[in-house]
Chains A and B, each alone.
Chain A
C-alpha cells in the first residue's frame, strides 16, 4: 500500500532533549516536506527536499534540522526542543512533477514541557 509513515505518533519530552521524528515513503517520490500545524495558524512548511541531498528551508525552519540521505526517508531533528515547538507535525511527499498532489503522513503530536 502506498503510504507515508511517521514515527513516533505521539511524543512527550522535556526542553533541551534532542529528538528525531522519522518520515518514510514507499512511492519513490522525489519531493518531501515537513509541515507543522497549530490552531489558528494553519499548516506551515518547515523544510523541504527536492531530492536526495537537496534540502531547503521553508517558512519556519528555526530550531529544526533535516537530512535526506536516502530517497525514501526524511527525518526531522529537533536538537534542543523548546515549548514553542509543541505542535502537530506532518510529513508529505510527491513526485517532482506533481507537487500539487502531496501525500501526507498520519501526523506526530509533540508536547515539549
Chain B
C-alpha cells in the first residue's frame, strides 16, 4: 500500500528558501509525484508534479531522486502568503488521494 511521510510542521522567515521532503513508500511505477497546497478553509490546490529528476514551475521546484523513494518540494524566497499546509499525497488505484496531515509551513516576518 502506497504511503508517504512528511514533517508535521516547519517554520521559516520571509525571503528564505524552504525545502519540504516527503518519503514515498511503495510508490507505483507509473505514478507521478504530486504536491498540493492548502490554505485554511480552502480546497487543496495542485502546485507541481514530477516523475524523476527536477521539475520547476512558477511556484516551486520539485526534486526526485532516481530511486523515487523521496521527493523534495522547494519554495524559493517564501513570503507570508506561502503559509499553508503542503501535502504529497499517494494515489490509490481508484483515484483516491491520501492527504494525511501534511506539513504545516509557517512563514514569519
Residues of A whose CB lies within 8 Å of any CB of B are 4, 31, 33, 42-43, 45, 48, 50, 56, 58-59, 88, 90, 92, 94, 99-107, 109
Contact = CB atoms under 8 A, between A and B. Distances in A.
Nearest to A40: B101
Contacts of A90: 43-44
A100 B91 contact: yes
A61 to B, nearest CB: 12
Given A105-B43, A107-B41, A100 B101 contact: no
Interface in B34-80: 34, 41-46, 49
B91 A99 contact: yes
Interface of B: 31-34, 41-46, 49, 91, 94-97, 99-102
Nearest to B102: A42
Given A48-B94, A102-B97, A104-B44, 7 more contacts: A48-B95, A50-B95, A99-B95, A101-B49, A102-B95, A106-B42, A106-B43
A100 B96 contact: no
26 contacts: A33-B96, A43-B99, A48-B95, A50-B94, A56-B94, A58-B96, A59-B96, A88-B41, A90-B44, A92-B43, A94-B95, A99-B91, A99-B95, A99-B97, A100-B31, A100-B34, A100-B97, A101-B32, A101-B46, A104-B43, A104-B44, A105-B43, A106-B42, A107-B41, A107-B43, A109-B41
